[in-house]
Copies of this chain bind each other. A is one copy, B any other.
Amino acid sequence: MNEKELLHNAPIGVFDSGVGGLTVAREIMRQLPNERIVYFGDTARVPYGSKSPETLTRYSRQIVRFLQTQQVKAIVIACNSASACALEVLEEETALPIIDVVRPGAKTALDTTRNGKIGVIATEATISSGIYKRYIEESDRSVSVISKACPLFVPLVEEGLWEDPVTDEIARRYLSELIDSGIDTLILGCTHYPLIRSTVGRIMGEKVCLVNPAYETARALKRLLEEKGLESEKRPELGTELYRFFVSDAAEKFQRFANSILSYGILSAKVINIEDY
């Protein structure tokens, strides 16, 4: 295999604080079936949504260094909190092309809204960064953004309460001011949230479109690979390891959760010490 083929066949590095980014990985698997993926979930330091920008930047840098040891050809930050806090620094410091989940989500919401009122639900870290608001309002000053941090959604999803009266009650509290504000588009600004999409959709009502950035992120990745001439031209041969999973802790728990999200059965997730990178 020559150097060019090696580069084409190199995997995409996808990372998240834990399991949430698997909703993005799943979308990449669907839309780019020829691409190999190396996924890293930072399960030893999860969650990211309640931590500071400085800490999330330090963690993201370590993960990018690890992914580089896996010879990835591009990186997807499949975590809104890390995208919000670390994207600019990573883009400055890293030669690899980087796709985040925030810009694609913001773009889709702008294309979707008709009344110019967009809601964003996300973690505290993402909302405090103000990044969705900034991207959207810079692109179109006539659009207004209403943001709401929903810190209990991640633990509720991780506890498996995807359809549950408690999740309903918490969602009603978090979403009431968004309903009152008259938004017609709502960004699911945390990669865990697509898993409670039906609860959120039911409470917001049929007239509000839900935007899942995962779909648009995979499309943005596809465009990027084509632009840079980096796409894998054929599906890796049968028997080749298509997807590899690494975590910083508790591989078995990760595997169980991953198998409930992905149709592809995860053979194994390997634990690494991310603090070494």
Give A residues with C-beta under 8 Å from B: 43-46, 50-52, 54-55, 58, 151-152, 155-156, 158-159, 165-166, 169-170, 248-250, 253, 273, 275
Copies of this protein in the complex: 2
Please give, as numbers and ranges, the residues of chain B lying within 8 Å of A158 by CB-CB distance.
50, 151
CA distance A44 to B42 in the complex (A): 12
Q: Given that A152-B155, A152-B159 are contacting pairs, would A250 and B170 also be in contact in the complex, using a CB cutoff of 8 Å? A: no
**Residue on B nearest A165 in the bound complex, by CB:** B169
CA distance A275 to B250 in the complex (A): 19
Partner of A50, one of B151, B165, B170, B250: B250
Please give, as numbers and ranges, the residues of chain B lying within 8 Å of A44 by CB-CB distance.
45, 51, 55
CA distance A155 to B152 in the complex (A): 7
| Contact between chains at A52 and B155 (CB < 8 Å) | no
**Residue on B nearest A273 in the bound complex, by CB:** B58
Partner of A45, one of B45, B156, B250: B45
CA distance A93 to B52 in the complex (A): 32
Offer 30 A-B interface pairs, CB within 8 angstroms, sorted by A.
A43-B51, A44-B45, A44-B51, A45-B45, A46-B50, A50-B158, A50-B250, A50-B253, A51-B249, A51-B250, A52-B249, A52-B250, A54-B249, A55-B248, A55-B249, A55-B250, A58-B273, A151-B155, A151-B158, A151-B159, A152-B155, A152-B156, A152-B159, A155-B155, A165-B169, A166-B166, A166-B169, A166-B170, A169-B169, A275-B275
